Structure 1
């Protein structure tokens, strides 16, 4: 085990896979590190608007965005360093004179060039990720010729300067970087791809952002592990205690790194963390589903009771009764909520449910069994899942964020002794005394439902 207190990931080519997702093995590794008290963050050239959803989705501690010029977590902004307005004006003039398109990074997103904004999308990243090497070289050559003829956007300086600008992205090939540095002494130029340059103030970088967070949260650079793949990651990989280059990284990045792991599409992050002893990872011992919700629930069981199953197996009748009892309790809760808390209506709905159970038993007994018992069990469980999704669809509720709210709440059911506790009779997981006050999900669910309602009503009005 190393002395690592904080781990930082670049996004493109590192935390994000070639298809712009998060590898299930990476999700599991982040959960394990957080549980072991290791701080986890991202360090990216992208802006806070792009990073914020990842903070929530992965339950990260913080995000260093715009290459160190804007640092935040899900609730606080720790540091911001806008670019000088005079410098911005000079860069805009240079871009106009040299037919270079620009985008401007603000706290709430990117504005400016449609071409550069497209480069920030998942579609563009996906295309870049699957493009063969020989096609990528062809694309670079074509792009270099195109930008010489590109007609730049005309910017409204007064409107543009109303809000702070933290970073400028310029359509530019690699051979222009030195020219920009000579032209603008107060400028730092870095790259995460061959097609555009990130322009920011001198004195800011991902590494300096990490150092600032260390001063706040109590860790030094020697206690930091960083992952990256591009030119704009080199300083933080070289300056941190443990610099890890992805297998898909640029050769120069690999050369200055302490360790080179597998690619971002081959569990590279989890393998490197396991190499340094921060997490356990054995790709052969525990399968990872393509269904991320399944993986989250599997993590819950791995933490709470250790009862995960790697080979399909049949539930015994006692196990099946217990699982069914858990689901029946939720169905009864569903009926109670649907009754509007009217006691008489609720009592009638429970009586009706008993009748439906009897009717279902008669129906199932009369049907000939098809397939093995394991096949029948699995078919029933998938049908249950299908019906739950159908109910959510008919209620107009998007379950994605709400599932994560409930998962986060469930993962907090650890008692002060560091262990889960179970009811000796039902086997159901118990809740610590402070759980309802600190972790109960109802308020967060309500906020998310309110948000979904506002968005839906605006669409209907349009």
Structure 2
């Protein structure tokens, strides 16, 4: 399954607890962009908050206000305002119940100083360090604190609502959410904080926003990977091809996610992207190549074998024979595909291959080899690479997308526990039960081939 677009929630995901984008995430974005993967944000935050990240990191787009406002780096693609009557009734409800409220405009959340504090660095850090066992006590104290505040001026809020309002954020505990739902059945309530509720139109969500971008940028939801940590990420992670829950995320989210990665403070994003083969995540004391395809395969072997070799070494004859067997099987598969499934033609091609093998063995063994074993092995493997690229050149096919598809399929053989599983008798690698449905490369290879053919037709008109 080729991933064409990756989306990040912001707080607790894209940002670490110091409210910064980690260097590993920045490098991951750069690698994905080089490979043509679209990268964006999907957040409950407003467009004013995300714009600096888009500008500084070269992101392609952002789904903000939980799907209500979608933008690229240079234009707004979609806006969905809340009805004025709904906004006004929410203001009245908040005033009556002495609840602070903020209104989401095109520039940001406006209205409540308490909500502004809650979404600040300080407020986000506090919400993460409070132990879950204290939750009830904190909730009772929070309610008592709110009751002491003077209600917001309804006139001030009515002035703000003259602008288009895309989301309403109300100070409310988890237990109060149901009462708001009953009073306002035509809105959707989602949460990214235990102390406030995000209120949007009933038919909107981060997932719907991503789907809208898919129509514009030509990708399916099945070709999306998304990262999140909170309740308002649940639909998104459940609806895309690969949903990744952060290690610091909520338990319910982890239960529904395709994959659980490390925390937002421990390179969780880069580790998950590496796990699925979208980037190479550099590990300490391990060398990297200028050839990113090599780095991706190295990541695969690190997961499969538990470690990789960083000091050049020679293959023994037994191991070299095994590696040759793997290559030979692919050559036979290439001949079978070339025969069109005609068993007679295929059988003759195999006989010709046997003859070619005998001829090559005679040729190689009859000439002198002054080079060392390692030089000879590296020379032969390099020629294999060159010949394979040459085959693609003569075929008129760009191999890069197909390499990525096959790599993702191979990485998909890693089980949810992050390890490879092997048959106890044959020792062959096992595939997760959903591998065929999610990672089998053939449908994606056909789709990409069709795309390259159509592109060639258009280019040669």
TM bin (shorter chain) = 0.5 to 0.7
| 1:97 Cα offset (Å) | 1.2
Contact 1:45 1:65 (C-alpha < 8 Å) held by counterparts: yes
| 1:174 Cα offset (Å) | 0.3
Contact 1:99 1:149 (C-alpha < 8 Å) held by counterparts: no
Give the equivalent residue in structure 2 for 1:228: 228
Cα distance in 1 for residues equivalent to 2:291 and 2:116: 41
Residues 1:91 and 2:94 are matched in the alignment: no
| 1:121 Cα offset (Å) | 1.9
Query: Is 237-246 or 126-135 further displaced after alignment?
Result: 126-135
SS in 1 for 2:193: coil
Structure 2: runs of 5+ lacking an equivalent: 296-399, 401-461
Give the equivalent residue in structure 2 for 1:58: 57
| 1:204 Cα offset (Å) | 0.7
Give the equivalent residue in structure 1 for 2:282: 282
TM-superposition CA deviations, 1:426-462 (whole Å, max 9, x none): xxxxxxxxxxxxxxxxxxxxxxxxxxxxxxxxxxxxx
TM-superposition CA deviations, 1:147-193 (whole Å, max 9, x none): 34443201325522221000011010001111111111111000001
Structure 1: runs of 5+ lacking an equivalent: 288-297, 307-417, 419-462
Query: Is 128-137 or 39-48 further displaced after alignment?
Result: 128-137
Contact 1:19 1:125 (C-alpha < 8 Å) held by counterparts: no
Q: 1:150 to 1:130 in 2, by over 3 A?
A: same
Pick the structure with greater CA Rg: 2
Mapping for residues 425-444 of structure 1, pairs under 5 Å: none
- Normalised by the length of structure 2, the TM-score is 0.60
Cα distance in 1 for residues equivalent to 2:121 and 2:279: 29
CA RMSD of aligned residues (A): 2.4
Contact 1:106 1:165 (C-alpha < 8 Å) held by counterparts: yes
Cα distance in 1 for residues equivalent to 2:291 and 2:56: 20
Give the equivalent residue in structure 1 for 2:195: 195
Cα distance in 1 for residues equivalent to 2:217 and 2:131: 42
Q: 1:302 to 1:56 in 2, by over 3 A?
A: farther
Cα distance in 2 for residues equivalent to 1:32 and 1:138: 45
Cα distance in 1 for residues equivalent to 2:206 and 2:285: 36
TM-superposition CA deviations, 1:351-398 (whole Å, max 9, x none): xxxxxxxxxxxxxxxxxxxxxxxxxxxxxxxxxxxxxxxxxxxxxxxx
Cα distance in 2 for residues equivalent to 1:190 and 1:80: 19
TM-superposition CA deviations, 1:191-234 (whole Å, max 9, x none): 00100000111101000000000000000100000000000000
SS in 1 for 2:154: coil
Contact 1:100 1:150 (C-alpha < 8 Å) held by counterparts: no
Give the equivalent residue in structure 1 for 2:16: 17
Contact 1:105 1:111 (C-alpha < 8 Å) held by counterparts: yes
SS in 1 for 2:248: coil
The count of corresponding residues between Structure 1 and Structure 2 is 293
Give the equivalent residue in structure 1 for 2:99: 100
Cα distance in 2 for residues equivalent to 1:138 and 1:25: 37
